[in-house]
Structure 1
C-alpha cells in the first residue's frame, strides 16, 4: 500500500512539474512578445551622428527593424538577400540598427550598397538601448511593423526571404 501511494505521489509531482514548466515557457514567450508589440520609442544616432527617434521615423509605411552586427555572418547574408530581393520595394522602410560605431555601420551599409536605397536607413546604438528594451542577447533580430507601428511579426535569429516577404505583405495588408 505504501508503495502505491509513493508511486501516485511521484506521478502527481511529475505532472505538476511538467505543468509548471510548460506554463513558464508559454508565459515567457508571451511576455517577450509584449516587449515588441509597439515600435520602440528610443533615441539613437543616425549616420550623420545626430539623435533620431525610432518611433518618429515609422509613421507612414510598414517598417522592418533589423538589429544586426557587421561581423555577423548571418547578418551579412541577410543584407545581401534583402538588397537583392527588396531593392525595388519603395513601400516598406528598412531600419538597420547596430550597437557598433557609426563608422562600422557606414562601412556595412556601403559594402552591401544599402546606403544608396531611399527606404533603407542605418543607425548606431552604442548604448544598447534597443537590445536592452527588447532584451536581445544576439543578432540578427528582425521585427516587422505595420504603418501604425504595431508588431506584425518577429524573428530572433536568421530569417528567410520568404518568411520576411510574407511578414511584410501582412504589414501592408494591415495598413490598408
Structure 2
C-alpha cells in the first residue's frame, strides 16, 4: 500500500510539472504573437504625462527596455548617444520600471534627454511584462512604420544592427 501511495504521489508531481511546463510554453507563444503588432501601452513620460502608442509619429520605432544600473543598458545608451545622428528619423523609446528620477538621471547622463524623437518612459511595476511579456534587460523591439515587429533583440545589441532593420 505504501508503494502505491508513493507511486501516486510521484505521478501527481510529474503530471503537475508537465501541466506547468505546457502552460508556460502557451503563455510564451501568446506573448510572442501579441507583440507582432505594437501592443497598446500607456507609460509615464518624464514630465509625468501619459504616453501611448497613439503619441508615436508615423515612423520606425525602436523600443529599449532598460534599467539604469545594467552595464549592458549603459553601453547601449552610450553607443546610441555617440551615433545619435543615425536615429533622427526614428521614434526611440527607452522604457524602465524604475522611478522617474532614476530614469531622468540616466537620460541626462547619456545626453539623450533633449532629443525630440527620444522618449524616456516609466512602466508601472510588472507593466512592461504585462504588455510585452517576459524579457531580459536590455530587450530591444524594432517596429516598422506600420507598427509591425521587424526584429526583437535580447541583450546588448550593436547600433548598426538597430539601423539595419527597416
Normalising by structure 2, we get a TM-score of 0.77
Q: Structure 2: how far apart are the matches of 1:124 and 1:28?
A: 24
Q: Structure 1: how far apart are the matches of 2:29 and 2:46?
A: 34
The question of whether the paired residues in 1 share the 8 Å contact of 2:137 and 2:154 is answered with yes
Note the 1:7-18 alignment, pairs <5 A.
none
Q: Given the alignment, which residue of 146, 150, 153 partners 1:152?
A: 150
Aligned residues: 143
CA deviations over 1:72-120 (Å, ceiling 9, x no partner): 0000000000111233532111001000001110000000000011111
Cα RMSD of the aligned pairs, angstroms, is 2.1
CA deviations over 1:108-167 (Å, ceiling 9, x no partner): 000000001111111111332122222224200100111121111111112122211212
Which residue of 2 is the match for residue 112 of structure 1?
110
Which residue of 2 is the match for residue 51 of structure 1?
50
Closer/same/farther in 2, CA of residues 79 and 150 from structure 1, 3 Å limit: same
Which residue of 2 is the match for residue 125 of structure 1?
123
Give the 4+ runs in structure 1 shifted more than 4 A: 26-32
Q: Given the alignment, which residue of 71, 74, 80 partners 1:73?
A: 71
Note the 1:157-172 alignment, pairs <5 A.
157-167=155-165, 170=166
The question of whether the paired residues in 2 share the 8 Å contact of 1:64 and 1:94 is answered with yes
Closer/same/farther in 2, CA of residues 30 and 136 from structure 1, 3 Å limit: closer
Normalising by structure 1, we get a TM-score of 0.73
